Structure 1
C-alpha cells in the first residue's frame, strides 16, 4: 500500500501536540510492513527534507505553513497532481483540515485526523481582529470540506468522535478512534537551568483560552492565601498569554521553551500535574506526566475523563468552590503508586498505537 502523509505540521512545528503526532505517525507508518510511505510538504530551498519528501518546486519558509495563501497553493495547485504522479493509495492529513482540493485523483482514499472541533466554536489567540475573523471563516470552511471529502476520520478520543458525529451526523460511518501516541522519553531527564521551588504543581500548555489557565491561577491564589502549604505553580508553554498581573504573582514560575529532556525533568520533579482545560480533544501532557510516574488532577467534561484512571482527582472547570476545595485536599504531598500510573500510560505507547494504525489501514485496504 502506497501511503501519503501530509508532513506540514512535522516541518513547521514538530514540538506542539499536532506536530508531534504528525512526526510519530510518520515513524510508525515508515516501519509498518507492506506500507510504502511518501511524505508531502512545502520546504525551503536546501532543506534536508527535500531529499526524502515530495516537495513543490517553489520555495516555502518553515514558518507560516498554515497561512491561507500558502495552504491554497499547496492543497489546490500541487497536491492533486503530486498524489496522482506518486500513485498514492491512501493519503492522510493530520491537522483537522488540509485535504487536497478538487480535482481528486482517481482511486485515492483520504484520511482526516481530526483532533477536535474547537476551531469551529471557540476563540484562539490571533494578533488582530481581522486576522481572527479570516482564520475563523477559513478554518470553518476547511474543516467542513475535509469532513465531507474524507473516506475515514480518525479522532484521538471517543469524546472527539462523538463531537464529530454530533456536528456532522452524515459522517458517522467514517469515524474511528485512534488514541494519540505518547512515546517513551528516550533521553536522560534534566532540570531546566532556572531556579525552581522544592515543591511545585505543574501546568503544561497555556496558549489557548480553552486551557483555562487564568481561571486556575485565580483560584490557586485564593486557596494559597488561605493555606500556605499549597505549592508554587510552574507553567510551561506560552507564558506571554498569561495575564501580566498573574505572571508577577509570588509563587508563579514561567518556563521558557524547553527541550524534551528538560520537560521530562519537570514532569518527574512535579508534585502533581493539573490540567484545567474546559475543552480538550485528548490531553497529551496528562499522559506524559503519568508516564513519568507523576499524579494528575484534571477538569471533567471532555476527553480528559476517558484518558485517566477512575480514581484520578477531578473538578469541574466552572466550579470555583470545588477546585479550591480540591487544592486544599491535595496540598500535602502523597505517596502515589507511580508504577500504576506508568502502567496506565503504557496503553498510549508505541506498541498499541502501531497495532491500531495497522488495523485502520487494513480496514481501508479491505
Structure 2
C-alpha cells in the first residue's frame, strides 16, 4: 500500500533516458526516498522502486488504469512530468510538469508531422493538456517563456507556476575547448523531423551559405530517424547540396559529445521550443552557436549566440557564415557559452529543485 506516499509516472524514465526523463529524475532527487515509480507492465526502472500496472493503448493507461491505481492506493502526491496527466480530478495532490505548449499551435502554423505516431500524440495532448493544467495543484515548467504562455493562454496566476530549467551533467563540460582553427569543417545541427524543427528551411539556408563557406564544409544533421533520411536527402538535392549535407543516424551520448566538440559551429533553426536542450549541450561543449530568436531560445543562450529569424533563410545563412568564418566572433561565443552553460549544470539546477520542494512543503 502506498497510502500517503508520492508516485511518479516512469514512462520516460526507463531505457535510454534523455530530455523529459532526465528532468523527472532530477525533480524527484530531493524526495527520492518517498517516491515510487508507476508504469505499464513490461517497463523496467533500474534507478527507482517501482510498480507496474496494466498495459495497452497509452491514453487508456493514463486516463483509466493509472487514476484507478491512485485511488485504490490512496497516494498523497502524483507527479506527472511529461505534459499530460489523468483528466479526472484526483484525490491526491497533482504536480504537473509542462515542458512546452507547441502541440497547441494551430495546424496552419505547425502542420502535422510526417510521423503518424507524433501527430496522434499531438492530438491527444491538444485534448488533455488544457484540462489537466486547470486541475493541477502544482505547476512546474522549464522556462520563463513557457510560463508566460501558460499564464496567457489559461489565465493562471504567475505566482502559481514554478520554473526550473533543464540541465546537462558535468560530462558535457569541456575545460579547454579544441581551437576553432583546428576543428573539422562542418556545422552541426541536432533536430528531429517534426515540422517545428524547421529542417527544410535550414537545408535551404545552408545552400545559400555554401558559396561563402569552405568548399569541403558540410552540414551534419543528427536526430532525424533513418526512415526519414531519404525525404530530407531529396530536399538537399533540390537545393543542390546533396553532397554537403550529411544525415547521421543514432548516436550515443559519447559520440554526440564528440560531434559537438569537433564542429566549427552549431546551428539551431527551430521554430518553437519550450527550452532547447541542444543549446546548453553546445555551450557546454565550447561550440559557437547560431540559433533562432524566438520562443525560449534567447532566454537560454543570452549573449552566447548569433540569433536569427527562423522563417528567413537568408538570415539563417548569414548567421551561419558569421559564426563559421569570423574566428574572433566564434571565440567570443565559445567563451560566453561556456560561462552561460554554468547556469544549467546539474548542481545549479539541483539547488533549484530543492528550493521548489522546500517551498511546496512550507505551504
Residue ranges of structure 1 left out of the alignment (5+ in a row): 61-68, 189-196
Structure 2 residue 8 is the aligned partner of structure 1 residue 5: yes
Of 333-342 and 260-269, the range deviating more from structure 2:
333-342
Partner Cα distance (2:337, 2:185) in 1: 20
One of 285, 290, 300 as aligned partner of 2:283: 290
Q: Which residue pairs with 1:125 in the alignment?
A: 113
Partner Cα distance (1:296, 1:361) in 2: 34
Alignment deviations for residues 151-209 of structure 1 (CA, whole Å, 9 cap, x no partner): 12211111111111111114544322111122222799xxxxxxxx9311000013211
1:221 to 1:34, Cα distance in 2 relative to 1, 3 A: closer
Structure 1 ranges of 4+ moved more than 6 A: none
Return the TM-score normalized by structure 1.
0.82
Partner Cα distance (1:48, 1:312) in 2: 38
Partner Cα distance (1:236, 1:85) in 2: 44
Partner Cα distance (2:51, 2:93) in 1: 18
Shift of 1:44: 1.3
Q: Which residue pairs with 1:112 in the alignment?
A: 96
Partner Cα distance (1:330, 1:288) in 2: 17
Shift of 1:272: 1.2
1:24-173 equivalence runs, <5 A: 24-25=25-26, 29-30=28-29, 32=30, 35-44=33-42, 47=44, 52-56=49-53, 58-59=54-55, 69-72=57-60, 74-84=61-71, 86-97=73-84, 99-102=85-88, 104-105=90-91, 108-121=92-105, 122-128=110-116, 135-170=121-156, 172-173=158-159
One of 338, 344, 351 as aligned partner of 2:340: 344
1:263-302 equivalence runs, <5 A: 263-302=256-295
RMSD: 2.9
Return the TM-score normalized by structure 2.
0.82
Alignment deviations for residues 197-244 of structure 1 (CA, whole Å, 9 cap, x no partner): 931100001321111111011011122135446831111001526523
Partner Cα distance (2:112, 2:153) in 1: 20
- Residue 238 of structure 1 aligns to a residue whose secondary structure is coil
- Residue 170 of structure 2 aligns to a residue whose secondary structure is coil
1:93 to 1:347, Cα distance in 2 relative to 1, 3 A: same
- Residue 208 of structure 2 aligns to a residue whose secondary structure is helix
Of 341-350 and 298-307, the range deviating more from structure 2:
341-350
